[in-house]
Chains A and B, each alone.
Chain A
Amino acid sequence: MKTNRVIRTPGGLSLGLDVRAVTVVVLLLLVALAAGVVLIGTGDFPISAGDVVKTLLGNGNAGQEFIVNELRLPRVLVGLLVGASLGLGGALFQAVTRNPLGSPDVLGLGQGATAGALVMIVLFSGNAAQVTVGALVGGLVTGLAIYLLAWKRGVHGYRLVLVGIGVSAIVTAINGYLLTVSDIVDAARAVVWMTGSLNGRDWDQVWPLLGLCAVLLPLVLANARGLRMMEMGDDVSNALGVRVERVRALLMVAAVLLTATATAAAGPVSFVALTAPQLARRLTRSPGPNLLPSLCMGAALLVTADWASQRAFGADQLPVGVVTGVLGGVYLLWLLVTERRAGRI
């Protein structure tokens, strides 16, 4: 079952394409966009998918235009971008640690961002923008702390996961403390933030996410070939001429930035970073980090989960993080059971 195709030009240019992976990327992208259109049409004023597309192309009536472009489109775009960032960030972490558990959820980046947000909410009663900055700083500091603590003649996958679990436990304790000392209004706000939600997201959240993705995506993809070699172990990839430590540090920074920004925008939406790369890998059936398929899978997952939470429980009732948490938990159990059956754990 070989699905690789090669394109060669007389000038010596040659590109390898995995047809199956490309198909998966295109299909997932279509699913994500279709779910986005349906999501825009969902709410107290339902709009048909056809009208949504018409309005997005600039041919809608004034009322629809306001609802679509001002109220619902930013929310859906944030959802797509957050999902894409988490999917890509998760794929990078799992590839760098060579461990499916090496995802930002398990390593405590989400908790770190939460701590930053809680500090702003509880100690400073900060506004939405300040909370976002707090979450971003919290995520970055946690990422840096994990990297430095795990450093010993280079960063080793298992050590990173173990250190991450330890840091995660500490930060969770801090978060618990912050919640107990907060008053009831702040606590309620904090809890909503901590579940991960897309409610009330507007264009202010879209631009930073979009900018970051535009900068980081080319950088990450340029190093993807080195990352693919690193699957075979540090020695083999070093021997093949990959600057392992440099690629790893660069990609870790990118992954932390992606995860922290996504968390700052939507709260710690759980399990997308853990599940998206694994699901994408099962679809492409290809070894390697599967970066683009994971990105598209993350976007599709998050928007679909947001649609499901609105559809099942009414608009704004249930934060999207609850749905992804339930789906991700079920998936994790299934993974554990099948892996055990296959004798791998």
Chain B
Amino acid sequence: MSGSGQPDTSGSAIKNTRRSTVNRLSAENVTLAYDQRVIAEQLSVEIPDSSFTVIVGPNACGKSTLLRALSRMLKPAEGRVLLDGQVIQSMPAKKVARTLGLLPQSSVAPDGITVADLVGRGRYPHQGILRQWSAADERVVQESMAQTGVAELADRYVDELSGGQRQRVWIAMALAQQTPLLLLDEPTTYLDIQHQIDVLDLCAELHETQGRTLVAVLHDLNHAARYATHLIALRGGRVIAEGAPNDIVTADLVEEVFGLRCQVIDDPETGTPLVVPAARKARLTAAS
């Protein structure tokens, strides 16, 4: 111990921990496990402030698990998740919920609930027994519905909506929480291509115009490369690479992370990396 109170004397030993930057959300040497099944060991991740961070990786690489840990749905077996310098588990639940929002994969719209009512439930962390529905709540709900383009659906029942509309409503609920950080677990799953782009455009807009920090788990590498400002590539519970998509997405990286031979070309629309898997024959000859 150096006696300075700063436990960074071992900084040289842990090469992935950068303590110089102070970001609002980070995981430090976390071991993530469900019961005895260990998903990730000694994993350290920083979410850069005001970034649109996307976590990618093959199935079962631990990306959703990492997101669950970052949003305190899963308590790390070892290590800690820090939010604004505090261990996230030790903070009051409602205080965390005013700072960090989560759109999980599994959410149930209660029977017979209207869009406005569901979005209104996002105000829960700002409310109390004596402060149940303030004028500010009303205003924020209207704004959230307007931003996500569901304002005209306000009085419709959620069960009547299409999948794309429903996802927008859930995003509106998370927005109504008014958190500077917003985590999204596979927000485009089960949507057709048009609605996938629609949801990602919405995320990009929230990131750009409101300066919110967004963290999303995405399956589609090309979507990730196009929309992310910061990419984290996971495999087997370890960070293989992280950084701006233009800097890190290469054919070698894709092969290392996904085990897929491919070419990486410039996306003709945006100039971001575009992953084109190698033809089946080419992959077969390479393997033999």
Tell me the A residues contacting B by CB distance below 8 Å: 2, 6, 8, 12-16, 98, 153, 222, 225, 228-229, 231-233, 235-236, 238-243, 285-288
Contact = CB atoms under 8 A, between A and B. Distances in A.
Q: Pick from B111, B124, B131 the residue with the most CB of A within 10 Å.
A: B124
Interface string B56-89: 0000000000000001110000000000000000
B129 A12 contact: no
A238 B112 contact: no
Interface of B: 34-35, 71-73, 93-98, 101-114, 117-118, 121-122, 124-125, 127, 129-135, 137-138, 155, 174, 177
Given A236-B104, A241-B98, A242-B93, A8 B134 contact: yes
A8 B135 contact: yes
Nearest to B72: A238
Contacts of B131: 12-14
A6 B106 CA distance: 31
Contact of B134 (A12, A228, A236): A12
A238 B109 contact: no
Contacts of A228: 121
Question: 9 shortest A-B CB distances, which residue pairs?
Answer: A241-B97, A235-B104, A241-B94, A239-B102, A287-B110, A241-B125, A16-B133, A231-B110, A241-B93
Contact of B155 (A2, A13, A288): A2
Given A239-B97, A239-B102, A241-B98, A232 B109 contact: yes
26 contacts: A2-B155, A8-B134, A8-B135, A13-B130, A14-B134, A14-B135, A15-B133, A153-B34, A225-B127, A225-B129, A225-B132, A232-B107, A232-B108, A233-B107, A235-B104, A235-B106, A238-B72, A239-B73, A239-B174, A239-B177, A240-B121, A240-B125, A241-B97, A286-B112, A287-B110, A287-B112
Contacts of A243: 93
A231 to B, nearest CB: 4
B132 A16 contact: yes
B256 to A, nearest CB: 31
Contacts, number: 94
B93 A287 contact: no
Contacts of B96: 241
A86 to B, nearest CB: 23
A242 B121 CA distance: 12
B65 to A, nearest CB: 13
A143 B113 CA distance: 31
A185 to B, nearest CB: 49
Contacts of A242: 93, 124
Given A153-B34, A241-B93, A241-B97, 6 more contacts: A6-B133, A6-B138, A8-B135, A232-B108, A235-B102, A241-B124
A241 B96 CA distance: 7
B73 A235 contact: yes
A291 to B, nearest CB: 14
B42 to A, nearest CB: 23
A240 B124 contact: yes
B107 to A, nearest CB: 5
A76 to B, nearest CB: 33
Contact of A240 (B34, B106, B122, B135): B122
Contacts of B108: 98, 231-233, 236
Given A222-B129, A232-B121, A239 B71 contact: yes
A325 B234 CA distance: 57
B177 A240 contact: yes
